[in-house]
Amino acid sequence: MRAINHQGMAKRLVQRLKELGINNEAVLEVIQRTPRQEFMPESLAHQAYENTALPIGNGQTISQPLIVAKMTSLLLESAPKRVLEIGTGSGYQTAVLAALVEQVFSVERIIQLQYQAQRRMKRLDFHNIAMRHGDGWQGWPSKAPFDGIIVTAAAARIPDALLEQLNPNGGRLIIPVGEQQQELLVVERQGEEFMQRSEGAVRFVPLVQGDLA
């Protein structure tokens, strides 16, 4: 059986992301060297460098590389050091962030996914990630404020707790919002004012609120 050339596939993926408008070289470099095949079932590893979302179990998906690159690029515009991620999932977005910022705090409501992601991070030798089993709608109050918050599931509305946990001096929230129709919002905080813009239509699994799984 021929070995899969993940390195070559990663280079082709990055070239595709450039063609689709991703121009942050630091983000592209990290995506090229992050082993996406490690964050999905082995049966799907041959699809690891396709620009598509893939199932990871528990009704969740690993996000499309284009979306990971876009959300990460938007977040980095404000040069964050401490970032909160809502929805650890497979840990792929977490790993990309951890290679680009000083510290990542990640909250996951499905404990099985959290355990799997923790094992991956240990295996891949990441030391600047803290993980928590919790309700993403509540954020991580004891670790706030955050320079950046990235949400990897679609909320019906922007959670107040996440706005409160943003750094008042330019903290930035990247979040998909909506139910049948979703859009990617960028919210920036200056004091008690929040400026918001849309970065277009997206499709994410819902950000579930309440009882933990």
Beta carbons within 10 angstroms of residue 170's beta carbon: 15
Could you say which DSSP state residue 94 is in?
Answer: H
Could you say which DSSP state residue 100 is in?
Answer: T
Catalytic residue among 63, 73, 90, 106: 63
Q: Do the beta carbons of residue 117 and residue 88 sit within 8 Å?
A: yes
Residue from 146, 34, 151 nearest 100 by CA: 34
Q: Are strands 148-151 and 82-86 parallel, antiparallel or unpaired?
A: parallel
Q: Do the beta carbons of residue 128 and residue 147 sit within 8 Å?
A: no
The question of whether 106 is a catalytic residue gets the answer: no
Cα distance between residue 179 and residue 176, in whole Å: 10
The dihedral sign for the CA sequence 121, 81, 84, 132: positive
Q: Which residues are known catalytic residues?
A: 63
